[in-house]
Amino acid sequence: MNTNQLALIFGTVLLALCYFVPYIMLITVPLIIIYFKPTAPVKSINYNPPAELKLFIYRQNKRAYLRTIFWTSKRKTILTRDQYTCQSCGITNVPLHVHHLRDYDKLGDEALDALISVCEECHSYQHLIYGYPQTYDDYMNWNVHLIKRTRDEETTH
């Protein structure tokens, strides 16, 4: 019998004793922790979840974040800064969205200049033109895409 098998048998017997005499646990549990140590190092498993799962988790976290007091406060700051006016078409007195220009990878730590107020129509239009990150890597590299696109637009004008 190796040490792990002995530890299993000894632990089972002690648990049975603890059932009948609970105070034995106060003495035996520290002894088990001190005496029985793993004989081989524990191997860690390097798990890399599939991209679809990463994207699903990211979107769930984003939805949860957009319901926090922190986001509500930041959203109000942006709307106040932009004087409750759509920054694309200039319309007022309509429900406004706060649009991320960049910093998808920094949810909760976005820079204020990365957010603008837009009406629902302009928000939909911007996502129609510029797209919307479709994969986890797109979310994490969205700043890179925006910088490249901006540079390309500047060089064509």
* 3-state SS assignment for residue 145: helix
CA 131 from centroid of its chain's CA atoms = 21
Percentage of the chain surpassing pLDDT 90?
A: 20
Confidence of residue 74 (pLDDT cuts 50, 70, 90): very high
Closest by CA to 2, choosing from 30, 43, 36, 44, is 36
Element (H, E) at 99: strand 96-100
- Identify any residues that bridge with 96 across adjacent strands, giving them in sequence order: 119
Closest by CA to 102, choosing from 145, 39, 57, is 145
Number of other residues whose CB lies within 10 A of the CB of residue 117: 22
Q: Which DSSP symbol is given to 116?
A: E
83: left (phi over 0), alpha (psi -120 to 50) or beta: left
Confidence of residue 75 (pLDDT cuts 50, 70, 90): very high
Per-residue pLDDT, 56: 82
Mean pLDDT confidence for 70-87? 93
Give the pair of three-digit tokens for residue 85: 């006016």
Closest by CA to 143, choosing from 108, 112, 100, is 100
Q: Over the stretch 21-57, which tens digit does the pLDDT of each residue have? A: 666 656 666 666 666 666 666 677 777 778 778 778 8
Q: Over the stretch 122-152, which tens digit does the pLDDT of each residue have? A: 988 887 877 666 666 766 665 555 545 545 5
Number of other residues whose CB lies within 10 A of the CB of residue 142: 20
The owner of tokens 């942006």 is: 78
